[in-house]
Homo-oligomer: A and B are copies of this chain.
Amino acid sequence: MAPGLIERLFRTQGARDAAALRRLHETCGTLLSERGAANSAKFAELAIEHYTALGDDARAAFFGLLAERFGPDAGRVLACARAYAEERSAGNLARLFEAVEPPRQELLRRINLGPRGTAALVRMRVDLLKAMKSHPALAAVDADFTHLFGSWFGPGFLELARVDWKSPASLLEQIIRHEAVHAVRDWDDLRRRLEPDRRCFAFLHPALPGELLIFVEVALLDDMPDSIAPLIEEHAVDARGSRARCAVFYSISNCQPGLRGVSLGNFLIKRVCEILRRENPEVRRYCTLSPMPGFATWVRAGAPLEPPRAPRGAAAQLERAREAVRAALQGGTLATDAALLENLEPALREALERLAVSYLYATRDTDPASDPVAKFHLNNGARIERLNWLANRSRRGLAESFGMMVNYVYDLERIEDYHEGFVNGRVATSRALLRRA
Chain A residues close to B by CB (< 8 Å): 33-39, 41-42, 71-72, 74-75, 77-78, 80-82, 84-85, 88-90, 93-94, 96-97, 100-102, 109, 112-113, 117-118, 137, 139-140, 143, 147-148, 151-152, 154-157, 159, 165-170, 172-173, 186-187, 191, 206-207, 210, 267, 270, 380-381, 415-416, 418-420, 423-424
Set of chain B residues within 8 Å of A112, measured between Cβ atoms:
154, 156
Bound Cα distance A36, B419 (Å): 9
The answer on a CB contact under 8 Å between A88 and B117 is no
The answer on a CB contact under 8 Å between A85 and B94 is no
The answer on a CB contact under 8 Å between B165 and A168 is yes
Q: Specify how many copies of this chain sit in the oligomer.
A: 4
In this complex, the member of A71, A154, A206 whose beta carbon has the largest number of chain B beta carbons within 10 angstroms is: A154
The answer on a CB contact under 8 Å between A37 and B419 is yes
Set of chain B residues within 8 Å of A74, measured between Cβ atoms:
84-85, 88
**Shortest 8 CB-CB distances between A and B: which pairs?**
A38-B419, A81-B81, A90-B140, A166-B168, A78-B85, A38-B381, A34-B423, A35-B420
Set of chain B residues within 8 Å of A147, measured between Cβ atoms:
97
The answer on a CB contact under 8 Å between A94 and B143 is yes
Identify 22 residue pairs between A and B in the complex whose beta-carbon atoms are under 8 Å apart, listed by A's number. Answer: A34-B420, A35-B419, A35-B420, A38-B380, A38-B418, A38-B419, A39-B415, A41-B267, A74-B85, A78-B82, A78-B84, A81-B82, A90-B140, A94-B140, A113-B154, A113-B155, A113-B156, A151-B151, A157-B157, A157-B206, A157-B207, A206-B206
The answer on a CB contact under 8 Å between A109 and B151 is yes
**A194 and chain B: residue at smallest CB distance:** B169
Q: Kindly provide the distance from the CB of A161 to the nearest chain B CB, expressed in whole angstroms.
A: 12
**A172 and chain B: residue at smallest CB distance:** B169
Main secondary structure of the interface of A (DSSP, over half): helix
Bound Cα distance A94, B415 (Å): 30
Set of chain B residues within 8 Å of A418, measured between Cβ atoms:
38
The answer on a CB contact under 8 Å between A90 and B151 is no
Q: Kindly provide the distance from the CB of A170 to the nearest chain B CB, expressed in whole angstroms.
A: 5
The answer on a CB contact under 8 Å between B419 and A34 is yes
**A140 and chain B: residue at smallest CB distance:** B90
Q: Kindly provide the distance from the CB of A155 to the nearest chain B CB, expressed in whole angstroms.
A: 6
Contact of A96 among B38, B77, B154 (CB under 8 A): B77
Set of chain B residues within 8 Å of A89, measured between Cβ atoms:
140
Bound Cα distance A112, B34 (Å): 31
Q: Kindly provide the distance from the CB of A434 to the nearest chain B CB, expressed in whole angstroms.
A: 22
Bound Cα distance A166, B152 (Å): 26
**A210 and chain B: residue at smallest CB distance:** B166
Q: Kindly provide the distance from the CB of A99 to the nearest chain B CB, expressed in whole angstroms.
A: 9
The answer on a CB contact under 8 Å between A166 and B166 is no
Set of chain B residues within 8 Å of A270, measured between Cβ atoms:
39, 41
Bound Cα distance A218, B154 (Å): 34
Bound Cα distance A163, B175 (Å): 21
Q: Kindly provide the distance from the CB of A287 to the nearest chain B CB, expressed in whole angstroms.
A: 17
The answer on a CB contact under 8 Å between A85 and B75 is yes
Set of chain B residues within 8 Å of A39, measured between Cβ atoms:
270, 381, 415-416, 419
**A37 and chain B: residue at smallest CB distance:** B419
Given A38-B418, A77-B81, A85-B75, decide whether A167 and B168 contact each other with a Cβ distance below 8 A.
Answer: yes
Given A39-B381, A419-B35, A420-B34, decide whether A156 and B207 contact each other with a Cβ distance below 8 A.
Answer: yes
The answer on a CB contact under 8 Å between A97 and B90 is no
Set of chain B residues within 8 Å of A109, measured between Cβ atoms:
151, 154
Set of chain B residues within 8 Å of A154, measured between Cβ atoms:
109, 112-113, 152
Q: Kindly provide the distance from the CB of A41 to the nearest chain B CB, expressed in whole angstroms.
A: 7
The answer on a CB contact under 8 Å between A100 and B102 is no
- Apart from A77-B96, A113-B156, what are 14 other A-B pairs with CB-CB below 8 Å? A38-B381, A39-B416, A41-B267, A75-B85, A77-B85, A78-B84, A81-B82, A97-B101, A112-B154, A113-B267, A152-B156, A157-B157, A159-B206, A167-B169
